[in-house]
Chain A
């Protein structure tokens, strides 16, 4: 019984971390990318290109973070806080 529930917890942990990394990470990195695009002083096309090139590296780092921290809470905070900050900044900047 105990074994079964430990397994279920493990599976739930993996499933939620996966969803967090794939979708939360995508959303968060998108917010960062859009902010970087606006902040960079270069022309809009170059800025968008630079930000997009950063996206894939950042997204990879999200996966490493989400699956390497011990507690699920850290994983959620690590993705959640930057996403919220950058998402909010984007909203205040006048939408995506």
Chain B
């Protein structure tokens, strides 16, 4: 009877994993890259690469920049201070637009200023890492709600696959220390189990928290309570006609923010990361100083990125008080902890890398799972068409996505920096290349198609430092010496990825195909 139970778990594991397996792979892949979405965006704006040294005086020039450039109807400004992840000063403004479907939508214009001079770098327009991040929560080019439903269903299937995988795998620790190379399907199985078990707590956490983050979409019948405050606020805002009071900076010139930052850091005992400025150019011009991140994971206020902030009048620099988030219930602590873990908001560079590596484990686990299906199940079922279909989807879905991502980075440098529709060109290249990677295995022998695509992918990633050296003032070597670890890290990671893919290509070439 017990064996029967494990068999049915094996069945459930296989099918819940397979049916949405490619989608799960895409979510793992793009989601893992999202841990470095700010770093990716920085790399994709080579105009900003020379901004390395932080000079406090440049922050006041960011305020001057906003005074000169922000439109009169901007509802608020944001100044984001450079840190180890973002090398520039972000000076942005936000307009409020009333959208008939989604209600109040912010419309944000971002500018990236040099951290030492405060000059606008006029960085090229790009979706940057945001594209990959958005893709892993709502796909692309469709209604956001529909996209999130699809992602949510795939995540649910993933969760079932993980739980049943744990149940059916009884020798979890023994197999952990087993790797049999060059043994056909057994090697893939060992790789699947190794990556699954090594990062198992991570896999459970990331999938379950992913479901929780989507619960407003997936469980709409029980969200009234969460939406009540927001709906009331929205109704109030829609009631009041948005009256634009023209800012008057002659009468109310903003004071220097540099001493205010020092004071705010002293009061909070944490480094300041963001400054929100509301009512710019008005009598009641207010600046809210928010820490970079909080190391505490349970009390994080999701919207403000921290559990405390301090306010100053920007007209005379007077301290307006400290806001602390209220103590929260146990359930909320759990929810906040899980969602903070999901997005690694608390993580410093080292933790971020650990999360990234765990994400890579998940990506490899999903990919090997899909490959095992072809090698084992489809062979046993003796359905040539089904096997061919799954294998084509595997090749385009796995190596194809990696190639498309590399192509996205290449397009970033090859599409002219100031052409008007370069953002849609970058995304267009991503999808065009991805489609091509599905056509290629249809016309090519499929084992050969794997090897072809692995080599193409290896080459494209390994050459990223080269294309960067030609199209940015920074290259792998002077980025190190100048201290721009973001650009150096990106180039080095791309290079290592290329080498690992080449090793995989060699491994796959040497393997006998299971016929």
Which A residues lie at the B interface, using CB under 8 A?
30, 33-34, 37, 42-53, 55-56, 59-60, 63-64, 67-68, 70, 96
Chain A's nearest CB lies how many Å from the CB of B449? 32
Chain A's nearest CB lies how many Å from the CB of B191? 25
Say whether B156 contacts A49, CB under 8 Å.
no
Q: CB within 8 A of B332: which of A34, A46, A59?
A: A46
List, in ascending order, chain A residues with CB within 8 A of B222's CB: 30, 33-34, 37, 48, 51-52, 55
Say whether A52 contacts B212, CB under 8 Å.
yes
Most chain B beta carbons < 10 A, residue from A30, A56, A67: A56
Q: CB within 8 A of A48: which of B8, B16, B211, B225?
A: B225
Complex-state Cα separation, A59 to B152, whole angstroms: 13
Verify if B215 is at the interface (C-beta below 8 Å from A). Answer: yes
Say whether A63 contacts B12, CB under 8 Å.
yes
Complex-state Cα separation, A24 to B8, whole angstroms: 19
Chain B's nearest CB lies how many Å from the CB of A66? 9
Contact residues of B between 131 and 165, Cβ < 8 Å to A: 156, 159-160, 163-164
Chain B's nearest CB lies how many Å from the CB of A61? 9
Complex-state Cα separation, A50 to B215, whole angstroms: 12
Complex-state Cα separation, A18 to B508, whole angstroms: 36
Complex-state Cα separation, A42 to B12, whole angstroms: 36
Say whether B334 contacts A53, CB under 8 Å.
yes
Given contacts A33-B222, A47-B225, A48-B225, 5 further A-B contacts (CB under 8 A): A52-B215, A53-B212, A59-B156, A63-B160, A64-B164
Query: Can you spell out 11 A-B residue pairs with CB atoms less than 8 angstroms apart?
Result: A34-B222, A42-B329, A43-B329, A46-B331, A48-B223, A49-B226, A49-B332, A60-B159, A63-B12, A67-B8, A68-B8
Which B residues lie at the A interface, using CB under 8 A?
4-5, 8-9, 11-12, 16, 156, 159-160, 163-164, 167, 208, 211-212, 215, 219, 221-226, 329, 331-332, 334-335
List, in ascending order, chain B residues with CB within 8 A of A59's CB: 156
- Contacts known (A30-B219, A52-B222); A42 close to B11, Cβ less than 8 A: no
List, in ascending order, chain B residues with CB within 8 A of A67's CB: 8-9, 11-12
- Contacts known (A30-B221, A34-B221, A45-B226); A68 close to B9, Cβ less than 8 A: yes
- Contacts known (A63-B12, A68-B9, A70-B4); A48 close to B221, Cβ less than 8 A: no
Complex-state Cα separation, A71 to B341, whole angstroms: 41
Chain A's nearest CB lies how many Å from the CB of B212? 6
Nearest residue (CB) in A for B207 is: A56
Complex-state Cα separation, A43 to B329, whole angstroms: 9
- Contacts known (A30-B219, A55-B219, A63-B160); A48 close to B334, Cβ less than 8 A: no
- Contacts known (A56-B208, A56-B211, A67-B11); A49 close to B159, Cβ less than 8 A: no
Say whether B9 contacts A33, CB under 8 Å.
no
Say whether A48 contacts B226, CB under 8 Å.
yes
- Contacts known (A30-B219, A45-B225); A50 close to B211, Cβ less than 8 A: no
List, in ascending order, chain A residues with CB within 8 A of B211's CB: 56
Nearest residue (CB) in B for A43 is: B329
Say whether B226 contacts A56, CB under 8 Å.
no
List, in ascending order, chain B residues with CB within 8 A of A33's CB: 219, 222
Q: Name the prevailing secondary structure of the A interface residues.
A: helix
- Contacts known (A48-B223, A67-B11, A68-B5); A53 close to B331, Cβ less than 8 A: yes
Say whether A49 contacts B331, CB under 8 Å.
yes
Chain B's nearest CB lies how many Å from the CB of A60? 5
Nearest residue (CB) in B for A42 is: B329
List, in ascending order, chain B residues with CB within 8 A of A44's CB: 225
Complex-state Cα separation, A53 to B337, whole angstroms: 13
Complex-state Cα separation, A39 to B54, whole angstroms: 55
List, in ascending order, chain B residues with CB within 8 A of A55's CB: 215, 219, 222
Chain A's nearest CB lies how many Å from the CB of B322? 25
Most chain B beta carbons < 10 A, residue from A42, A43, A46: A46
List, in ascending order, chain A residues with CB within 8 A of B334's CB: 53
Complex-state Cα separation, A80 to B212, whole angstroms: 26
Complex-state Cα separation, A50 to B226, whole angstroms: 12
Say whether A53 contacts B160, CB under 8 Å.
no
Nearest residue (CB) in A for B162 is: A60
Complex-state Cα separation, A60 to B159, whole angstroms: 8
The 10 closest A-B pairs by CB, nearest first: A46-B329, A50-B331, A48-B225, A68-B8, A44-B225, A45-B225, A56-B211, A67-B12, A46-B331, A52-B215
Q: CB within 8 A of A64: which of B163, B215, B226, B332?
A: B163
Nearest residue (CB) in A for B229 is: A45
Chain B's nearest CB lies how many Å from the CB of A95? 11
Say whether B12 contacts A64, CB under 8 Å.
yes
Chain B's nearest CB lies how many Å from the CB of A67? 5
Nearest residue (CB) in A for B8 is: A68
Nearest residue (CB) in A for B19 is: A18
Say whether B12 contacts A53, CB under 8 Å.
no
Say whether B221 contacts A96, CB under 8 Å.
yes
Nearest residue (CB) in B for A36 is: B222
Chain A's nearest CB lies how many Å from the CB of B345? 19
Chain A's nearest CB lies how many Å from the CB of B309? 22
List, in ascending order, chain B residues with CB within 8 A of A68's CB: 5, 8-9, 12
Complex-state Cα separation, A46 to B327, whole angstroms: 13
List, in ascending order, chain B residues with CB within 8 A of A34's CB: 221-222
Complex-state Cα separation, A34 to B222, whole angstroms: 7
Complex-state Cα separation, A33 to B222, whole angstroms: 8
List, in ascending order, chain B residues with CB within 8 A of A49's CB: 226, 331-332, 335
